[in-house]
Amino acid sequence: MSEAIVKPIEAIIAETRQEIQPYVFKRLEARTPRKAGQKIARTITVTSGKGGVGKTSLVVNMAICLSQAGQKVIVLDADLGLANIDVVFGVRPTYSLIDVLNGEKNIDEIMVQGPRGVQIIAGGSGVRELANIESEKSERLFAQLRFLEDKADFLLIDTGAGISDSVLSFCRAADQVVVITNTEPTSLTDAYGIIKVLSTQSPESKVSVLVNRVEEDEEGIHVYDRLSKVAKDFLNFDIKFMGTLPQDRNMHIAIRQQTPLMVFSPMSPAATELRKIVSKTIFEIPETFTDQNQTGFFDKVAQFFKGGSRK
């Protein structure tokens, strides 16, 4: 055999990968949809009308609590503009959702493992929000994201702050929405704003309120009572009380050290209270929150991004 047609094994492997990659990606997108009755992750979207109230820290530490309770957990950073959940987890992912958007990576290739076995999908900072991404990239992203739904028991979504279309789409599609606020008037006003929009666009949404950084439990209960009353009186919309988290200097130190509170100081006041709250999330939220005969979470989100019907 002449030397002209003999290729090094490395060249053959590289050439083979290049040839098969488009077909592998096509196979992934064309995979048969899940049948009714198969397990779907319970989806919890955590949001806030105002930034700086502890939303991302809540997602991170809630994920660790769930994982320590034996649940398989995936955390998705859905804030492509100011994504920072990887920073709070203290991990440095090589890739993010941006690489999936650009068709350079599949979803399983960008997922990294964080503390206590939590799987993390980084958002990627400095990018336009999802609602403004061109159709082709958006479809590619959601085709990939759909396959997360049967990979975990819980899928936690950390949205951006505010009431943008992308935030509302993730909220409307979730089994449960957690609105986090504190006792400041501006935070309460913004929290009520997102509750009001959800009650109009998606009155079937199951919304819970968590009051963060309270001096005493009674203070947080009073905040919830005010929000609940105004939502009932003016919107005819019921919201649930998820609980309160106390002011805890350990949380601030943990954030500075880029270590989740549940790892840094698991017996601190806020960590102890969060375990109680998460226990309710696991054992008291009915499984019927996820109707397995209905459209999956990311199918719903994709529909909303395409201008799906609003109530």
Amino acid at 197: V
Task: With beta carbons less than 8 A apart as the criterion, state whether 60 and 85 touch.
Answer: yes
Q: Give CA separation, 208 vs 29, 48, 105, in Å.
A: 34, 11, 35
Instruction: Tell me, yes or no, whether 188 lies in a domain.
Output: yes
Instruction: Tell me, yes or no, whether 6 lies in a domain.
Output: no
Instruction: Tell me, yes or no, whether 19 lies in a domain.
Output: no
Instruction: Tell me, yes or no, whether 9 lies in a domain.
Output: no
Given pLDDT bands bounded at 50, 70 and 90, which one contains residue 235? Answer: very high
Residue 2: what pLDDT? Answer: 46
Residue found by looking up tokens 């959940």 in the block: 85
Instruction: Tell me, yes or no, whether 118 lies in a domain.
Output: yes
Instruction: Tell me, yes or no, whether 166 lies in a domain.
Output: yes
Give 137-194 pLDDT, tens digit per residue. Answer: 777 778 888 878 888 999 999 988 888 888 888 899 899 999 999 999 999 999 999 9
Helix, strand or coil, per DSSP, at residue 115: helix
Distance CA 178, CA 154 (A): 14
Give 48-64 pLDDT, tens digit per residue. Answer: 988 889 999 999 999 99
Q: Indicate the pTM of the whole model.
A: 0.81
Instruction: Tell me, yes or no, whether 192 lies in a domain.
Output: yes
CATH of the domain at 46: 3.40.50.300
Residue 254: what pLDDT? Answer: 94
DSSP string for 180-248: EE-SSHHHHHHHHHHHHHHHHH-TT--EEEEEEEESSHHHHHHHHHHHHHHIIIII----EEEEEEE--
Residue 29: what pLDDT? Answer: 45
Radius of gyration of the chain (CA): 21
Instruction: Tell me, yes or no, whether 181 lies in a domain.
Output: yes
Give the chain's domain count: 1
Residue 231: what pLDDT? Answer: 95
Distance CA 53, CA 194 (A): 14
Residue found by looking up tokens 């226990």 in the block: 279
**179 or 22: whose pLDDT is higher?**
179
Residue 209, domain extent: 40-244+273-286
Q: Give CA separation, 247 vs 97, 151, 215, 221, 269, in Å.
A: 33, 35, 6, 15, 8
